[in-house]
A and B are shown apart, each in its own frame.
Chain A
Amino acid sequence: MGDYVWFHDVSWHATYAIYFFVIGILAGLSFLSYGSWRTPALRPLREKAAYGSLVMLAIGGILLIADLSQPLRFLYVFNPAYLNLSSPLAWGALNIVAFGVCSILYILALRKGDEAKGRLFATVTALLALGLPVYTGYDLTVHQSRPVWNTPIMPVLFVALAITSGSAVGSLLAGANVEAQKVLRQYMLWSAGAVAVILVSIMGTTNYGGSASELTFMIMTTGTMGILFVGVGFLAGSVAPAVMLYAPMGKSQSVLVISALLILAGSAALRYVILMAPQEVQTLY
């Protein structure tokens, strides 16, 4: 047609999606470790989940810093003279560091067998862990020009995804522990169901939006993105596990393992599409 369209670049690449995925598992594991103080069935997961979340924090931190085009300047975020508290990224960076410090203190308390401090740090760590999916969701929400991102429900979706993926990893770690699996089945079932409901609501809102929303809906539901979002993320990663876990066969070990794997694959795919698709449209403006 002879039109001259300037194709812009996406701002945030797939590394961010992996980071969101890792942060989600980290938060979910932290919730489980805290939950073990309140629910005796989860007791065997207490140390595993605490160590697992710290490992995930290390991976996530490396990913986040490596994704910066000036990696060594990540320390600027902690310079009070530079810090811009109106940016969700600044809050997120402070939250991550606080989580890391509390997580180490929690593990030290666990190693010493100090019950009182362990319980205290478990609570603080879980609260800080809650801040991580909330900030990542909020990080997307504040971008007013991006359909899908700019929905107030995004932090809620990220918290629900953190619970699903954390419970899925917890279920894989729990192995043949029947009591723990009974609790984890409930966590996975209801959080996967919540994710499915939130996704339907987001897509409904997007489909009824303006031209940018309409285009984003098209991108998210067709082609490769469509397979990842609708196929892997929504159907295989949320609806199928919820149905399988709700069914009478849902208590069997094999169904739990399959559901956990589907949830993990689905939550990774969802994060990728939710991150990339709204940026695709923007590159054409």
Chain B
Amino acid sequence: MSEELRLSPIETRGVAGKKRYAMVVDTRRCIGCMACQVACKAEYDTPLGVNRTWVPYKVVGKYPNVKKHFLPRLCNHCDDPPCVRNCPVEATFKVEDGGFVLQRYERCIGCRSCMAACPYNARFMLPSHRTYTPITNVVDKCTFCFHRVTQNLVPACVQTCIGRSRVFGDLNDPNSEVSYLVARNATQVLRPEEGTKPYVFYIGADRNTTEFGRDAYLRPEVMELERSAFKNHFKI
């Protein structure tokens, strides 16, 4: 017996006449090609060292029985987004019809409270120098490709996904592929305990990737060494 989930008043899912876009990431189909990351970079000219979407992975098991678990990540376009609550100047806002959580660059004061509020690390600060755009020194994030979706296109990462791991659509449309996938598969969201009501659903995600990694248990000094080595890649 299936029963619709109880919804809180803030949610736009199931509201008649409104769209509620969502992404389903079928991790069983993700091959870790990072094409989504590249497509996103190309779409937005996202600078070096920051990403709107990224694909971390974990190697699990013991040789010779090892496997890589990928977990494509992006903004979860939450129904109860803490970033929107925290922004002192409403530079970040939720579009009621569609559920997009977007950013007004011209209004952002750069206090980074939205970054601190986001449990998913989906937000980042744009650097002070960029080649093709004057948008600098403000917080940026994934927009679910708002400009493409409003032109009846799918987001760039979905368009390019070679394994059809990423599926995008309107969850309020019962005939959409995302509705079908969410209805027919066991899905999970990241950090549900935070109460953000995220709209990126994962199929087959492994807890090695959805939880804090074991690397976090390294001594802070060792972690700092790894962090500085990682950051060195982005020095130009």
The answer to whether B42 has its CB under 8 Å from any CB of chain A is: no
Contact status A6-B54, CB under 8 Å: yes
Contact status A83-B125, CB under 8 Å: no
Contact status B121-A285, CB under 8 Å: yes
The answer to whether A156 has its CB under 8 Å from any CB of chain B is: no
Which candidate, A107-115, A170-178, A211-219, A247-255, is the interface stretch facing chain B?
A211-219
Q: How far is the CA of A177 from the CA of B73 in the complex (A)?
A: 62
Q: Known A11-B112, A146-B116; judge A5-B215 contact (CB<8 A).
A: yes
The answer to whether B6 has its CB under 8 Å from any CB of chain A is: no
The answer to whether A77 has its CB under 8 Å from any CB of chain B is: yes
Contact status A283-B121, CB under 8 Å: yes
B residues contacting the other copy or chain, number (CB 8 A): 52
Contact status A77-B138, CB under 8 Å: no
Q: How far is the CA of A44 from the CA of B112 in the complex (A)?
A: 42
Report the minimum CB–CB distance from A79 to chain B (whole Å).
Answer: 7
Which of chain A's residues 93-130 have a Cβ closer than 8 Å to chain B? 93
Q: How far is the CA of A69 from the CA of B121 in the complex (A)?
A: 18
Q: Known A70-B110, A76-B109, A82-B89; judge A1-B121 contact (CB<8 A).
A: no
Report the minimum CB–CB distance from B227 to chain A (whole Å).
Answer: 5
Report the minimum CB–CB distance from A283 to chain B (whole Å).
Answer: 7
B125 contacts which chain A residues (CB < 8 A)? 9, 69
Contact of A69 among B68, B87, B137, B221 (CB under 8 A): B137
Contact status B82-A70, CB under 8 Å: no
Contact status A73-B87, CB under 8 Å: no
Contact status B121-A282, CB under 8 Å: yes
Which of chain A's residues 163-213 have a Cβ closer than 8 Å to chain B? 210-212
The answer to whether A143 has its CB under 8 Å from any CB of chain B is: yes
Contact status A93-B88, CB under 8 Å: yes
Contact status B86-A87, CB under 8 Å: yes
New A-B pairs, 12, CB < 8 Å, besides A8-B121, A82-B90: A3-B57, A7-B231, A11-B113, A12-B112, A69-B138, A73-B109, A83-B90, A84-B87, A142-B117, A145-B191, A215-B217, A222-B219
Contact status A87-B211, CB under 8 Å: no
B178 contacts which chain A residues (CB < 8 A)? none
Contact status A68-B226, CB under 8 Å: no
Q: Chain A: interface residue count, which band?
A: 35 or more
Contact status B107-A142, CB under 8 Å: no
Interface string of B59-87 (1 = CB under 8 A from A): 10000000010000100000000100111
The answer to whether B220 has its CB under 8 Å from any CB of chain A is: yes
Report the minimum CB–CB distance from B150 to chain A (whole Å).
Answer: 25
Task: List 8 A-B pairs, minimum CB-CB distance, nearest first.
Answer: A69-B110, A145-B119, A11-B115, A11-B116, A89-B88, A90-B88, A73-B109, A69-B137
Q: How far is the CA of A74 from the CA of B109 in the complex (A)?
A: 6
| Chain B interface residues (CB < 8 Å from chain A) | 51, 54-59, 68, 73, 82, 85-90, 107-113, 115-121, 124-125, 137-138, 191, 193-195, 211-213, 215-217, 219-221, 223, 226-227, 230-231
Which of chain A's residues 210-266 have a Cβ closer than 8 Å to chain B? 210-212, 215, 218-219, 222-225
Q: Known A3-B215, A5-B213, A68-B110; judge A143-B82 contact (CB<8 A).
A: yes
Q: Known A9-B124, A87-B85; judge A211-B211 contact (CB<8 A).
A: yes
Q: How far is the CA of A79 from the CA of B106 in the complex (A)?
A: 14
The answer to whether A281 has its CB under 8 Å from any CB of chain B is: yes
Contact status B90-A224, CB under 8 Å: no
Report the minimum CB–CB distance from B88 to chain A (whole Å).
Answer: 4
Q: How far is the CA of A9 from the CA of B85 in the complex (A)?
A: 21
Q: Known A68-B110, A279-B116, A284-B212; judge A219-B220 contact (CB<8 A).
A: yes
Contact status B89-A223, CB under 8 Å: no
The answer to whether A47 has its CB under 8 Å from any CB of chain B is: no
Q: How far is the CA of A93 from the CA of B219 in the complex (A)?
A: 38
B193 contacts which chain A residues (CB < 8 A)? 210
Contact of B88 among A83, A210, A211 (CB under 8 A): A83
Contact status B85-A142, CB under 8 Å: yes
B217 contacts which chain A residues (CB < 8 A)? 215, 218
Q: Known A222-B220, A224-B220; judge A87-B88 contact (CB<8 A).
A: yes
Contact status A87-B112, CB under 8 Å: no
Between A and B, 24 residue pairs with Cβ closer than 8 Å are: A1-B59, A3-B56, A5-B226, A6-B51, A9-B124, A9-B125, A11-B113, A67-B111, A70-B137, A70-B138, A76-B107, A76-B109, A88-B86, A89-B113, A90-B88, A142-B85, A145-B119, A218-B217, A222-B219, A222-B220, A223-B221, A224-B221, A283-B227, A285-B120
